[in-house]
Structure 1
Amino acid sequence: MRFVPGTFGPRALGLRHRLVLAFALVALLVSAVFAISTYLLARGYLLAQRERVVQHQSFADAVFIQRRLESAGADVSAVLTAAGTPAGHTIVLKWQGQWYASSLDQGRDAVPSAVREAVADGTATSQRFRSDDGPAMVIGVPIPTVQAEFYEIAPLTELDGTLRLLSGILSGGALLATAAGAALGVWGSRSVVTPLNRVAATAASIAGGDLDTRLPATLDPELATIVGSFNSMVDTLQQRINRDARLAADVSHELRSPLTTLVGSVDLLNARRHELSDRSQRVLDLVTADLHRFRRLLEDLLELARSDGGLDLRPGTVIELTSLLRQVLGETGREATLLTGPEDLHVVADKPRLGRLFRNLFENAERHGDGLVGVEVARSEGDLLVFVDDAGPGIPADDRERIFERFATGPGGRGSSSGTGLGLALVAETATAHGGTVWCSASPAGGTRFVVRLPEAGA
């Protein structure tokens, strides 16, 4: 399996998840340090206190036993019983080479060997160890006056339970603090990400053509500057786009009058072309072709200016898509038999603009794709798809997105000088304005297939 950098780990997480994780980790670290330090301090204090208590008791018991053993004829068992040790404590005594214990199940082996060796050398010592009954502490005291070794074993079970309870409480507190840190991270990340999402949504709406969208005013002084700057930028952008759109529209309108006059003059010459010489007729044909191309370019520019400036947009109405396609085929001089697909498919659209979209695709197939060979309508998951196939050589995969750019032309028939480079750009912008998309692919018949996706009305 190939590893893709950035697929796993913190970089693969979104900003909100990284913030929550950071808050949780910081809370866990702080609470863990606090819990561990508190446990260690409490454990050290409780053990030291317990050790002092046991040592005091053990030395007192050792003095008591020493005094009793100094008496002649002392009964060791009676002495150990009379010592009155606290409940759970066990006394182990070595006297005159014999081992005695206050408990029947305890004896020499109950005392760790290291303690026995130290006491045998004349040194009082203490040690914590784990016996069969649980944690315990032993205090060893040499009694040289009677040649005895005194050991007192005190259980630490109660203290161990207290420490276990304390560790559980501290661990639970650390987990609770971590959860609180994660919750704080969720709140903090939401406070950070929500304004960013609002900016992203507003920017996407503006990019989709709704130039009147603005960020709402905010009382947050940290965000007020950003909101104001963003809205000011959009205002400036909208003014520039509107100015450019009005300029293009004005220029197009101003060019229409001389163009109409020029078209009328050329039509008059074509009506009397039989009076012209062969050479003059060829020149007239060239002028007529260029004039028609210029007029088509002017109409496309005017339509783009209206689209950019939001001008001349009619409210959408519900139209029957198959009937519209059949009508456009008839207007462009093509047989309705080219159309296949079900009837009664409806879309909400500006009918003239949607008709122009399909007219541009049909003319593009005739002009650059060696002829239109089929138009198919289909339904797909709440959308309507229109397939337009031509008989041309196809479009290279690298150029299938570029052809929808303005003034994009290519070599050969599809990008010949007879095209304006605006027809497919208008197709893409019109499809987007109707909530759809358009793309190009290879036709099953070997040519080029243009696919128009439009949302179905009522779906």
Structure 2
Amino acid sequence: MTQPQGGLRGWSAARRGRLSRLRLTSLRLRLVVVFGAVALTAAVSASGIAYWLNREAVLTRTQGAVLRDFEQEMQNRAGSLPEHPSQDELQHTAGQMANSSQRFSVLLVGEDADGKTVFGNSGGLNGFALEDVPESLRTAVNRQQDVTDGNKSPYHLYWQRVVTHGTPYLVAGTKVIGGGPTGYMRKSLEPEAKDLNSLAWSLGIATGLALIGAALLAQAAGTTVLKPVHRLGVAARELGEGRFDTRLQVSGTDELADLSRTFNRAAESLEKRVADMAARDDASRRFVADMSHELRTPLTAITAVTEVLEEELDAESGSIDPMIEPAVRLVVSETRRLNNLVENLMEVTRFDAGTARLVLDDVDVADQITHCIDARAWLDAVDLDAERGIHALLDPRRLDVILANLIGNALKHGGSPVRVSVSAADDAVVISVRDHGPGIPEEVLPHVFDRFYKASASRPRSEGSGLGLSIALENAHIHGGEITAANSPEGGAVFTLRLPRGVLEEPDQDGEEADGTVRSVPSGRPAQPGPSAQPVQSVQSGKDKGEVS
């Protein structure tokens, strides 16, 4: 019976462990991601700054050298041309200028003596042409500026970087001071672009290596930081599972060490408190058990005397004085109630101590219910709807206790007739007990199985012990079953008992099942009601719609 519950607890603990490991993995992942993001940001920023600085340095150095060379060639060679040069002169001078140390293409534009625009370039017909010069650059080159103290020349050298057919170029232009041709220069920047691309690849590889290094560092840091956290989580789970002697090994003086010390102090305090509570609980149980046991001896004698008095009350001789007859009847009633209370207390003590055992038998459920009703003379008040032949492997005495409490409770606190119905599934048998009373108040429903619970403080005393439904529920639990209480939509309260049918196994030679459960030899007839199944007085459940005892 307890194995499925233990399995469920084990499954829950394993599931919690997996979820905790997932959380730790997630925390580790977040740590790696944070380290990686910081490293990536730093590496990208550093690489971007380095690339930008190197790019500007390379381009500025190349550009400065080319422009200085071009400007010098314009002054020395183009400046020596006549004001109206011919096309051949322009072509020859452009070729000479292109042979400078920087090796750029040259285009010279001028007017001949007839006022016609002539061109000369360093590459022949397919060389550098005026169409290759951006319009904005041509406009700036031909714009004449005012000569002032701050501006000594009406024309300046202008340059612009352009990309043609995927190739970067530096294009520059200027006019000869004092009259002469206009010169344009084009220098390919492809070597510099390749160098910059190589630099970008190098910086990208360095960034990737930095990112990998950061991930490895984060992994190492995560292992160092999260291992104590994981140990703390494992210890907390063990503590939650009841292993109060769990302690953490403390090393170091950091915050995690302080947390481990705090956990150890809390676990030690909790272990002491639980031990004290367990000791007080054991003492309370021993007290109840001892008290119940000590009460049985005088109660046996008192019960014998009350039985004699009860016989005298029922006798026709009238030997008892009518003046004391009410007192005698009260003594008889209260003695019976006290005897039932002691029996119930002893049964509860056995459940609390874990010493209650099942004696299983192959039970015909319908026959068992019929016998329970017949033994207590409830045949006229109970309507039974059950087919014979529904068998289950149950403890007949404990089943009788459950039925006596549920049916007696319905008769006493509900309304007749009480209907008992039985249905069977593949793995369980369901017994429903319904009365025709006003039902159970909603605020009382969660407490109907509590011990000694009373819904009305104005009626603290009742004939029952207040333990009937609690004992019934414990007997259901020991079978691996359950009892639920609810209100029927058609009126009245419904108590539903669900018990596993079990599998009847052949006993071994010792008369015990394979799992150690003691089992009686099937007798084919219902068991007699046991001492804990006393009828009316021990089944007070509080289903009285205003009182639960």
Q: In 1, are the aligned partners of 2:383 and 2:420 still within 8 Å (CA)?
A: no
1:27-426 equivalences under 5 Å are: 27-66=32-71, 68-69=73-74, 70-71=76-77, 72=80, 73=89, 75=91, 77-79=94-96, 82=99, 107-109=132-134, 122=156, 131=163, 133=165, 136=168, 138=170, 148=183, 150=185, 152=187, 154-155=189-190, 158=194, 159=196, 163=200, 170=207, 191-202=231-242, 214-215=243-244, 220-221=249-250, 222=260, 228-273=268-313, 274=316, 275=318, 276-311=320-355, 313-315=356-358, 317=360, 319-320=362-363, 322=365, 324-335=368-379, 338-340=384-386, 343-347=389-393, 351-371=396-416, 373-379=418-424, 382-410=427-455, 417-426=462-471
After superposition, give the CA deviation of every residue in 1:50-105 in whole Å (9 maximum; x if it has no partner). Answer: 3333333333334444454423546365357535768xxx7576766989796569
Give the C-alpha shift of residue 269 in structure 1.
1.5
Deviation sequence 1:184-242 (CA, Å, 0-9, x none): 5997575443333333333xxxxxxxxxxx45756634466555554444333322211
Equivalenced residue count is 427
When residues 245 and 31 of structure 1 are mapped into structure 2, their CA distance, relative to the original with a 3 A threshold, is: same
In structure 1, distance between residues paired with 2:386 and 2:347: 30
Q: Contact 1:407/1:420 (CA < 8 Å) preserved in 2?
A: yes
Q: Residue 410 and residue 371 in structure 1: after superposition, are their counterparts in 2 closer, same or farther (change >3 A)?
A: farther
Mapped partners of 1:120, 1:332: distance in 2: 130
Taking a change above 3 Å as real, the CA distance of residues 136 and 105 of structure 1, as seen in their structure-2 partners, is same
AA aligned to 2:373 is L
Distance 1:179 1:453 in 2: 58
Amino acid at match of 2:249: D
Range moving further from structure 2, 20-29 or 359-368: 20-29
Q: Name the residue aligned to 2:13.
A: none
- What code does the residue aligned with 2:55 have? R
Whichever structure has more helix as a proportion of its residues is: 1
| Distance 1:95-1:25 versus aligned 2 partners, 3 A rule | farther
CA distance in 1, matches of 2:279, 2:55: 83
Secondary structure at the aligned position of 1:271 is classed as helix
Q: Shift in Å at residue 355 of structure 1?
A: 3.2
- How far is the alpha carbon of 1:399 from its aligned partner? 0.6
Letter in 2 for 1:435: G
**1:110-147 deviation line (CA, Å, top 9, x unaligned):** 877999799997477787x7x46569575868797797
**Contact 1:395–1:448 under 8 Å retained in 2:** yes
Distance in 1 separating the partners of 2:217 and 2:402:
57
Whether contact under 8 Å (2:128, 2:186) holds in the other structure is no
Secondary structure in 1 aligned to 2:430?
strand
C-alpha distance in 2 between matches for 1:191 and 1:114: 76
How big is the shift at 1:394? Answer: 1.1
- Higher mean alpha-carbon deviation, 260-269 vs 100-109, is at 100-109
The amino acid across from 1:291 in the alignment is T
Q: CA deviation at 1:163?
A: 3.9
Measured at CA, do residues 231 and 271 of structure 1 come closer, stay the same or move farther in structure 2, by a change above 3 Å?
same
Which amino acid is 1:447 matched to?
G
Contact 1:115 1:140 in 2 (8 A): no
**Contact 1:387 1:449 (8 Å CA) reproduced:** yes
Is residue 431–residue 454 contact of structure 1 (8 Å, CA) maintained in 2? Answer: yes
Q: Distance in 1 between matches of 2:202 and 2:102?
A: 28
Change (3 A) 1:257 1:35: same
Counterpart in 2 of 1:207? none
Is contact 1:342–1:377 with CA below 8 Å preserved after alignment? no
Tell me how far apart the structure 2 counterparts of residues 22 and 99 of structure 1 sit (CA, whole Å): 72
SS of 2:443 mapped into structure 1: helix
Inter-CA distance 197–175: structure 2 relative to 1 (3 Å threshold): farther
Q: Does the CA-based 8 Å contact 1:328-1:358 persist in structure 2?
A: yes
Unaligned runs of 5+ in 2: 1-18, 81-88, 112-118, 146-152, 251-259, 505-549
- In 2, distance between residues paired with 1:61 and 1:346? 105
Normalised by the length of structure 2, the TM-score is: 0.62
Q: CA deviation at 1:278?
A: 4.3
How has the CA–CA distance of structure 1 residues 319 and 150 changed in structure 2, closer, same or farther, with 3 Å as cutoff? farther
Please tell me whether Structure 1 or Structure 2 has the larger radius of gyration of its CA atoms. Answer: 2
Q: 1:317 to 1:267 in 2, by over 3 A?
A: closer
Change (3 A) 1:332 1:399: same
Distance 1:237 1:125, change over 3 A: farther
Question: CA separation in 2, counterparts of 1:201 and 1:357?
Answer: 32
Q: What secondary structure, in the 3-state scheme, does the structure 2 residue paired with 1:39 have?
A: helix
What is the SS of the residue equivalent to 2:448?
helix
Distance 2:205 2:359 in 1: 68
- C-alpha contact 2:137 2:160 (8 A) present in aligned 1: no
2:539 aligns to what?
A: none
Q: Distance in 2 between matches of 1:28 and 1:238?
A: 48
Distance apart, 1:360 and its partner CA: 1.6
Aligned partner of residue 195 in structure 1, secondary structure: helix
Whole-angstrom distance in 1 between the partners of 2:426 and 2:155: 93
Aligned pair in 2 of structure 1 residues 372, 16: CA closer, same or farther (>3 Å)? Answer: farther
Q: State how far apart, in whole Å, the 2-side matches of 1:235 and 1:178 are.
A: 47
| Unpaired stretches in structure 1, ≥5 consecutive residues | 1-13, 203-213
Distance change >3 Å, CA 215–CA 138, structure 1 → 2: farther
Shift of 1:449: 0.7
- 1:59 is paired with a residue of what secondary structure? helix
RMSD value, Cα: 4.7
> What percentage of residue pairs aligned between the two structures are identical?
21
Matched to 1:82, the amino acid is N
Find the aligned partners of 2:206 and 2:282 in 1 and give their Cα distance.
67
Which whole-Å CA distance do the structure 1 matches of 2:35 and 2:374 have between them? 77
